[in-house]
Chains A and B, each alone.
Chain A
Amino acid sequence: MNKIDLTIAVLVLIAIIISSSTLVYTTTVMSNVSTLTSDVSTLTTSVGNLTSTIGTLTTIVGDLAEKVGGYSEAIANLTARLAAIEAALAAREKETLIVGTTDSVELTLDPAQAYDYFGWCILQQIGGTLVAVKPGSTTGADFVPELAESWNASADLDVWDFTLRQGIKFPDGTEFNATHVKYSFDRAIGLIPSIPEGAPAGLGYDAIINRTEVLGTYKVRFYLNFPFSPFLGILACRASTIVNPKYAPMAQVNYTAGDPRASTPVAFVGPYYLAKWDRVAGRDIEIRLDANPYYWNATSEYPKTEHVIFKFYSDPSTLRLAVEAGDVDMAFRHISATDVLDLQTNPNVKVWWGTGAFIQYLCFQEKYAPFNDTRVRVAVTAALNRSALCNTVFLGLADPLYSIIPPGMLGHTEAFKKLGDANYTLTRSLLAEAGYDESNPLTFDLWYESSGHYPSSADQAVVIKEALEASGVIHVNLKSADWASYKKNRDDEIMQAYIYGWYPDYVDPDDYAFLYWAKWIHTNYDKVNPDKYNQQVDLYNQARATTNTTLRAELYAQIDDIAVEMCSVVPLYVSSAWAVTKPNIYGIYLDITQDMRYWLIYIGE
């Protein structure tokens, strides 16, 4: 009956398809033209080709007609094909690991430039560093040889010698030697000025490393600008990935999708190489890692799984649905606390727990009243209720943090416990001194980030507000801004109190302690309390200058004590880490490094 309106609808559809596909078509056809001739001067000929293209197109249409005919039987034996595919998948299952994630490489896979979790994660699978952190390290990081087999540091920790493992080859056959090490670090530092904040810049390689020297084919020496005990931590992180000079020119390269250098196996010496990297509009669509046949440690049967395919989801809840539906073997990063708790009870999946390293902390703008008054800062700090925060927002999957250095790491203390949680008596007395009471409560804006840069930041803010106001002498206005504006406000120093977060570059207290006074957080602590600030910096540098762990721990403890006294940056919580897999997945280590080492993961029965 609806014969005619069908035709009309189709008419419309055709019109729309034509009008818009022409866009896509023309562009694609043009790109053919460009491949046929890159030179605009020979455009005419290419236009000729274009016409011929169109000519062949018509013939193709003819072929298509036949194809369509072919489809009928294709559909007929589709079931057979499907079955075949099923079988093929079943066979491939054991050597293919499908990972679902909400991450995406931010910019590039050039170790000198990548500075995002996922970029580093991929780099770790395809690249190698001189030293590595032993999987499953519990207290701090214990470093094991990787491309270097041994090392020793000078007495005052500013000269480091490394002896390299022999017989390692880059996939193109190049023998790995000391020159590559020197090259890699020279390059990283050399690139710093030309890139925004590539990893080395962020880590401050240029500030730490003075120069690198080749002592022999397999001996290399680092001269540092100052004693620096955490140096191994630096060497173990992705930015120190050794590159093959042939494929990593000194000039800045973006190892971005489509760049042949990005997907070639020969740039690095890792257990995998990047077999496929599709990005759409600056977001990853598909990444496939294949086992690197030249991996130096292949003898020990690494990698355990032949292929790793990453599947990219835009949000945690769809990722959860996917892992439940069995679309992925493994879901890692950003599955929400709620979801992971539910999944624990789901027999079809296995949940892996690990220590986290991501922390969040509360910053006070000391430039103006009220928080230029230390008593007020301490009072508010005392009114915080960290356990409520962790239990309500993170359902216990985050731990209250009483020192900027997270547990499981050298120098972690419980310093802020001194002020207690929801310690309203202290709050009231201090605020009374500062001239606030029920009738005249302390009122300030608490800012949080609203575009999902931090986990459930809005909920955090709500809970914190409630805890503070429970003191009866504090009134909080919640304010929010999306990440860009938030950062702007931070730099403009217009936010009275704001929640901020930190994720470590290298596994060492050295990469946390400085947060108390970091200039880029713009609390103005260093300007308002220079003497305390200098004390802390001094302690910090002392800690850098010794490998004596007890001494270092002691020094960091002192830093914490001053921080408690001043309450300029107040630790709130440390996240825990978890991954969700199918029950038949093994070999996952979620240790303090936060690294996911895919070459250790294997699919069992």
Chain B
Amino acid sequence: MSKIRSKLNVLKHFISEFTSLTKRGPSGWMVIIGVIIVLAIVLMTLLSPWISPHNPAATNVGPIRAPPSAEFPLGTNHLGQDMLSRILCGGSIMLQVSALSVLVCFLIGVPLGLFSSYVGGNVDKVISLIIDAVYAFPGLVIAIAIAAMLGPGVINMALSIAVVYIPSYFRIVRSQVLSIKELSYVEAAKAIGAKWHTILSRYIFPNVVPSIVVIATINFADAVLTAAGLTFIGLGISKAIPDWGWDLYDGWRYLSSGAWWIITFPGLMIILIALGFTMIGEGLSELLNPKLQH
């Protein structure tokens, strides 16, 4: 119990004074840097319409596959589109997709986990069996199948990714609840006749929040990567919208002709955003790990 309390306190602490993370050693710093990266990229994407030098979708604004130069700092791609402008706004789809998928995962995985583990018995068994079936299966395959089924589109893509990560939420929540459920104060709550949803929402949910936060951030990173992967396989959104995934794919096609800049910059952007989220997740998971506290 004290463990969980401390967890919770740590979380509150973290939320209340973000800056105090600097005092929390490297893990704290990881979180800070991660958050900065993510915010920076989101901001960049939001502002892109005003700050991008060219229309990212317009072809032949410059020579075809021109290397980085004063006029085109990141070069141009095979259609003579300005890479810088594309980089600036190319994150939007990925961010939308991953944000959406994380949301879906959260909205389905968490309640399901809470419910299943709290009710227990056969219900729990069956749900767990199904979830494990999904979990024990190469996520990308599922994602591909579903993406192919639903056809291109932000929401479809998000859904296909979400399906892959719901199990991890379910599992973490479930294991947490199973451990918390037996704790004295939950017992006590039951004893004084609290309703099950009260117990879930009031006593159990707050305690699983930290681990969910960690999962969510990691999931965010994975979602970005999976989205890129789907685009790479050709299941991306229509090419009319600039997207790092597409640029990466094109870059691959033109890499052999030495146009390293087409693939490098989108690649780096994807790494960067994934890195941002991963750092947050990793930092938090270490900060919130009671076993590692002095």
Q: A residues touching B (Cβ–Cβ < 8 Å)? A: 316-317, 320-321, 324, 336, 338-339, 341-342, 388, 392-393, 395, 450-452, 458-459, 461-463, 465-466, 477-482, 485
**For residue B151, which residues in chain A have a CB less than 8 angstroms away from its CB?**
481, 485
Q: B59: CB under 8 A from chain A?
A: yes
User: In the complex the two chains form, what is the Cα distance from A317 to B59 in whole Å?
Assistant: 23
The 10 closest A-B CB pairs, nearest first, are A458-B239, A478-B240, A342-B257, A317-B256, A320-B256, A478-B238, A338-B257, A451-B234, A480-B238, A321-B256
B234's partner among A321, A342, A482 (CB-CB below 8 A) is A482
Q: B8: CB under 8 A from chain A?
A: no
Q: B139: CB under 8 A from chain A?
A: no
Give the shortest distance, in Å, between A575 (CB) and chain B (any CB): 17
User: In the complex the two chains form, what is the Cα distance from A392 to B58 in whole Å?
Assistant: 12
User: In the complex the two chains form, what is the Cα distance from A482 to B147 in whole Å?
Assistant: 11
**For residue B57, which residues in chain A have a CB less than 8 angstroms away from its CB?**
462
Cβ contacts A to B, 20 pairs, < 8 Å: A317-B253, A317-B254, A320-B256, A320-B257, A324-B256, A336-B253, A338-B78, A338-B253, A338-B257, A339-B257, A341-B257, A342-B256, A392-B59, A392-B60, A458-B246, A461-B240, A465-B240, A466-B58, A481-B152, A485-B148
User: In the complex the two chains form, what is the Cα distance from A317 to B234 in whole Å?
Assistant: 16
Q: When the two chains form their complex, are residues B234 and A450 in contact, meaning their CB atoms are under 8 A apart?
A: yes
**For residue A477, which residues in chain B have a CB less than 8 angstroms away from its CB?**
240
User: In the complex the two chains form, what is the Cα distance from A463 to B77 in whole Å?
Assistant: 13
Give the shortest distance, in Å, between A102 (CB) and chain B (any CB): 12
Q: B64: CB under 8 A from chain A?
A: yes
Query: Interface code B224-259, partner A: CB below 8 Å = 1, 0 otherwise?
Result: 000000000011101110000010000011111110
Q: When the two chains form their complex, are residues B253 and A392 in contact, meaning their CB atoms are under 8 A apart?
A: no
- Nearest B residue (CB) for A480: B238
- Nearest B residue (CB) for A465: B240
Interface size on B, residues (CB 8 A): 26
Contact A392 B80, CB 8 Å, known A317-B252, A462-B59, A480-B152 = yes
Q: When the two chains form their complex, are residues A338 and B65 in contact, meaning their CB atoms are under 8 A apart?
A: yes
**For residue B141, which residues in chain A have a CB less than 8 angstroms away from its CB?**
none
**For residue A317, which residues in chain B have a CB less than 8 angstroms away from its CB?**
252-256
Q: B119: CB under 8 A from chain A?
A: no
Contact A459 B79, CB 8 Å, known A321-B256, A342-B258 = yes
Give the shortest distance, in Å, between A492 (CB) and chain B (any CB): 13
CB contact list, B3-62 vs A, under 8 A: 57-60
- Nearest B residue (CB) for A319: B256
**For residue A485, which residues in chain B have a CB less than 8 angstroms away from its CB?**
148, 151
User: In the complex the two chains form, what is the Cα distance from A463 to B253 in whole Å?
Assistant: 18
**For residue A342, which residues in chain B have a CB less than 8 angstroms away from its CB?**
256-258
Contact A452 B256, CB 8 Å, known A338-B78, A461-B239, A466-B59 = no
Besides the known contacts A338-B78, A339-B257, 9 further A-B residue pairs in the complex with CB atoms under 8 A apart:
A317-B252, A338-B254, A341-B257, A342-B258, A392-B59, A461-B240, A462-B239, A478-B238, A479-B238
Q: When the two chains form their complex, are residues A339 and B234 in contact, meaning their CB atoms are under 8 A apart?
A: no
User: In the complex the two chains form, what is the Cα distance from A139 to B240 in whole Å?
Assistant: 40
User: In the complex the two chains form, what is the Cα distance from A458 to B249 in whole Å?
Assistant: 12
Contact A393 B79, CB 8 Å, known A463-B59, A466-B59 = yes
User: In the complex the two chains form, what is the Cα distance from A428 to B80 in whole Å?
Assistant: 28
User: In the complex the two chains form, what is the Cα distance from A334 to B116 in whole Å?
Assistant: 53
**For residue B257, which residues in chain A have a CB less than 8 angstroms away from its CB?**
320, 338-339, 341-342
Give the shortest distance, in Å, between B204 (CB) and chain A (any CB): 36
User: In the complex the two chains form, what is the Cα distance from A534 to B235 in whole Å?
Assistant: 41
Contact A480 B239, CB 8 Å, known A317-B256, A485-B151 = yes
Q: B residues touching A (Cβ–Cβ < 8 Å)? A: 57-60, 64-65, 78-80, 148, 151-152, 234-236, 238-240, 246, 252-258
User: In the complex the two chains form, what is the Cα distance from A112 to B221 in whole Å?
Assistant: 52
Q: When the two chains form their complex, are residues A392 and B238 in contact, meaning their CB atoms are under 8 A apart?
A: no
**For residue A466, which residues in chain B have a CB less than 8 angstroms away from its CB?**
58-59
A450's partner among B58, B59, B152 (CB-CB below 8 A) is B152
Residue of A316, A338, A393 with most partner-chain B CB within 10 A: A338
User: In the complex the two chains form, what is the Cα distance from A427 to B240 in whole Å?
Assistant: 23
Q: When the two chains form their complex, are residues A463 and B239 in contact, meaning their CB atoms are under 8 A apart?
A: no
Q: When the two chains form their complex, are residues B240 and A462 in contact, meaning their CB atoms are under 8 A apart?
A: yes
Give the shortest distance, in Å, between B221 (CB) and chain A (any CB): 26
Q: When the two chains form their complex, are residues B79 and A392 in contact, meaning their CB atoms are under 8 A apart?
A: yes
User: In the complex the two chains form, what is the Cα distance from A466 to B236 in whole Å?
Assistant: 20
User: In the complex the two chains form, what is the Cα distance from A482 to B151 in whole Å?
Assistant: 8
**For residue A481, which residues in chain B have a CB less than 8 angstroms away from its CB?**
151-152
- Nearest A residue (CB) for B253: A317
User: In the complex the two chains form, what is the Cα distance from A477 to B64 in whole Å?
Assistant: 24
Contact A395 B234, CB 8 Å, known A321-B256, A338-B257, A462-B59 = no
**For residue A320, which residues in chain B have a CB less than 8 angstroms away from its CB?**
256-257
- Nearest B residue (CB) for A461: B239
Contact A482 B258, CB 8 Å, known A392-B80, A458-B239, A459-B239 = no
Give the shortest distance, in Å, between A497 (CB) and chain B (any CB): 14
A482's partner among B59, B78, B79, B235 (CB-CB below 8 A) is B235
User: In the complex the two chains form, what is the Cα distance from A480 to B147 in whole Å?
Assistant: 13
Q: When the two chains form their complex, are residues B148 and A482 in contact, meaning their CB atoms are under 8 A apart?
A: yes
A478's partner among B60, B239, B253 (CB-CB below 8 A) is B239
Contact A392 B64, CB 8 Å, known A459-B78, A459-B79, A485-B151 = yes
Give the shortest distance, in Å, between B99 (CB) and chain A (any CB): 23
**For residue B148, which residues in chain A have a CB less than 8 angstroms away from its CB?**
482, 485
User: In the complex the two chains form, what is the Cα distance from A480 to B151 in whole Å?
Assistant: 8
User: In the complex the two chains form, what is the Cα distance from A317 to B80 in whole Å?
Assistant: 20
**For residue A392, which residues in chain B have a CB less than 8 angstroms away from its CB?**
59-60, 64, 79-80
- Nearest B residue (CB) for A451: B234
Give the shortest distance, in Å, between A543 (CB) and chain B (any CB): 40
**For residue B258, which residues in chain A have a CB less than 8 angstroms away from its CB?**
342
User: In the complex the two chains form, what is the Cα distance from A216 to B143 in whole Å?
Assistant: 63
User: In the complex the two chains form, what is the Cα distance from A341 to B258 in whole Å?
Assistant: 12
**For residue B236, which residues in chain A have a CB less than 8 angstroms away from its CB?**
450
Residue of B80, B239, B254 with most partner-chain A CB within 10 A: B239
User: In the complex the two chains form, what is the Cα distance from A342 to B259 in whole Å?
Assistant: 11
Residue of A458, A481, A485 with most partner-chain B CB within 10 A: A458
Give the shortest distance, in Å, between B8 (CB) and chain A (any CB): 36
Q: When the two chains form their complex, are residues A395 and B253 in contact, meaning their CB atoms are under 8 A apart?
A: no
**For residue A450, which residues in chain B have a CB less than 8 angstroms away from its CB?**
152, 234-236
User: In the complex the two chains form, what is the Cα distance from A601 to B151 in whole Å?
Assistant: 45
**For residue B80, which residues in chain A have a CB less than 8 angstroms away from its CB?**
392
- Nearest A residue (CB) for B81: A462
Give the shortest distance, in Å, between A72 (CB) and chain B (any CB): 40
**For residue A478, which residues in chain B have a CB less than 8 angstroms away from its CB?**
238-240
User: In the complex the two chains form, what is the Cα distance from A320 to B257 in whole Å?
Assistant: 9
- Nearest A residue (CB) for B239: A458
User: In the complex the two chains form, what is the Cα distance from A479 to B79 in whole Å?
Assistant: 19
User: In the complex the two chains form, what is the Cα distance from A340 to B102 in whole Å?
Assistant: 43
**For residue A338, which residues in chain B have a CB less than 8 angstroms away from its CB?**
65, 78, 253-254, 257
User: In the complex the two chains form, what is the Cα distance from A479 to B152 in whole Å?
Assistant: 9
Give the shortest distance, in Å, between A25 (CB) and chain B (any CB): 23
**For residue B64, which residues in chain A have a CB less than 8 angstroms away from its CB?**
392, 395
Give the shortest distance, in Å, between B154 (CB) and chain A (any CB): 14
**For residue B254, which residues in chain A have a CB less than 8 angstroms away from its CB?**
317, 338
**For residue A459, which residues in chain B have a CB less than 8 angstroms away from its CB?**
78-79, 239
- Nearest B residue (CB) for A342: B257
User: In the complex the two chains form, what is the Cα distance from A392 to B252 in whole Å?
Assistant: 18
User: In the complex the two chains form, what is the Cα distance from A186 to B59 in whole Å?
Assistant: 54
User: In the complex the two chains form, what is the Cα distance from A392 to B152 in whole Å?
Assistant: 25
User: In the complex the two chains form, what is the Cα distance from A480 to B246 in whole Å?
Assistant: 14
User: In the complex the two chains form, what is the Cα distance from A463 to B60 in whole Å?
Assistant: 10
Q: When the two chains form their complex, are residues A452 and B239 in contact, meaning their CB atoms are under 8 A apart?
A: no
